[in-house]
Structure 1
């Protein structure tokens, strides 16, 4: 059995009844978060996240699909929301981070992918015996504790939201609404640089959607999410402010490659 770990996870295993799991301490974040400039986001989080992050799309060449992410920094490996004391308290923390060390992963055997998903946990956070700081989540009969019931509900609801996000992204691709997105930053000393590698919705083509498609997008809640994405691009300036530590250090412009 081969389990494909999600982005950022190192090595995961199926959760079973003999496992004792260490939950992250207050303020602790997954190891990969400290050195990443993006984190996956679900469509249900866009309202909360848009107040803090630029929400953009990325192309996953490995799986040939588009995903939604929150930008955490302006350079590879740069996370401007992580500090020595943990995640910035005034910023929304994405569910992808909050679910760690748990996840729901795909399983394959004999080169065939199982359509069912499996609840997994990062191996570094699991031991097979009782120890301070570790919690057993299933009893000898495999019955879930109340604590685990809450975690499992969160994981499954989040997974369902990720599937809704995939449907949204797939429709954006089908309708050719995404363009390469480049942010150009100019500092007070006139030095400028570009941040690229992301995709953004073309507002002009979005406005030209047919009536039937607009109704479909209203029903699915996609139209409002599309404009939340466009609104969130204003947060690029906050990233620059945090990066430079200055209140009015630069100007910023967005360009799309048609």
Structure 2
């Protein structure tokens, strides 16, 4: 159960947040939201896939960490085994909240029930405020990330609208060959439809480029090469039990 609260230096002066990685800290996840503005960094480590929300009908982009619910093949001995994590995952357990006034700045909220949040007397985790109530470098970094994430999310609407307008997403199924001879099927996601992208005329391609959509499209296409590395991670886990 969530317990979201507006972060306050008086009320939450003693809070600390753990920054290591483990299943117990909420990192056992198959996917994380990925913003088009970070596709260049994401594609260097993870496949980028797209999923349609069955309720709203809208698409979102996801960095893929595993092949089934609860599987994260980038968790290794209390650390995240990749040099980059998507913003949406990196900011956990923090959230951005609406400003108190219409023209005010957005506010930092925190999920007090999240396993990363602690008030441990042994000093585990990193403090959010110093003894005088000033934000620590960790909290300043989180506030920057939240602002970047909020801006990237708002800007992504045009990107997904362009993908749908040009019919550039197609469903796909991946057969994952496992070291024990079995196969696992990955279904329910979409990828960029390369043939349809190639068929666009110069005017449409120019419009995508002018709107800064063409580069993230290419990055999403390039990310598909990461599937083989992800399969290798899965097979390595099977080999080591």
Pairwise same-fold verdict (TM > 0.5): yes
Alignment pair present for 1:46 and 2:39: yes
How far has the Cα of 1:39 moved from its partner? 0.8
Matched, 1:98 2:90: yes
Q: How does 1:139-150 map to 2 (within 5 A)?
A: 145=135, 147=137, 148-150=139-141
After TM superposition, give the deviation of residue 137 of structure 1 in Å. 7.2
Q: Secondary structure at the match of 1:92?
A: coil
Match of 1:207 in 2: 198
Sort the Cα spacing of 1:10 and 1:76 in 2 relative to 1 into closer, same or farther, 3 A: same
- How many residues matched? 224
Shift of 1:233: 0.9
SS in 2 for 1:56: strand
SS in 1 for 2:225: helix
Q: Is the 8 A contact 2:20 2:78 kept in 1?
A: no
> Cα–Cα, structure 1 residues 95 and 221, in superposed 2: closer, same or farther, change >3 Å?
same
Of Structure 1 and Structure 2, the greater strand share is in 1
In the superposition, relative to structure 1, how do residues 93 and 172 fare at CA in structure 2: closer, same or farther (>3 Å)?
same
Cα pair distance change 1:184/1:60, threshold 3 Å: same
1:121-172 Cα offsets, whole Å, 9 max, x none, are: 1113377xx99554337978xxx64634443223112211122223212221
Segments of structure 1 that go 5 or more residues without pairing to the other structure are 1-8, 108-115, 247-258
Q: Which runs of 5+ in 2 are unaligned?
A: 100-104
Report Cα offsets for 1:110-130 as digits up to 9, x if no partner: xxxxxx954211113377xx9
Alignment of 1:32-181 (within 5 A): 32-34=26-28, 36-88=29-81, 90-105=82-97, 118-124=107-113, 125=117, 132=123, 134-136=127-129, 145=135, 147=137, 148-181=139-172
**1:62-99 per-position Cα deviation (integer Å, ceiling 9, x unaligned):** 443211110100122211011232211x4422222221
Rounded Cα–Cα distance in structure 1 between residues aligned with 2:235 and 2:66: 11
Deviation string 1:207-252 (CA, Å, 9 cap, x unpaired) is 2223332122112321121121111111111111111119xxxxxx
If the length of structure 2 is used for normalisation, what is the TM-score?
0.78
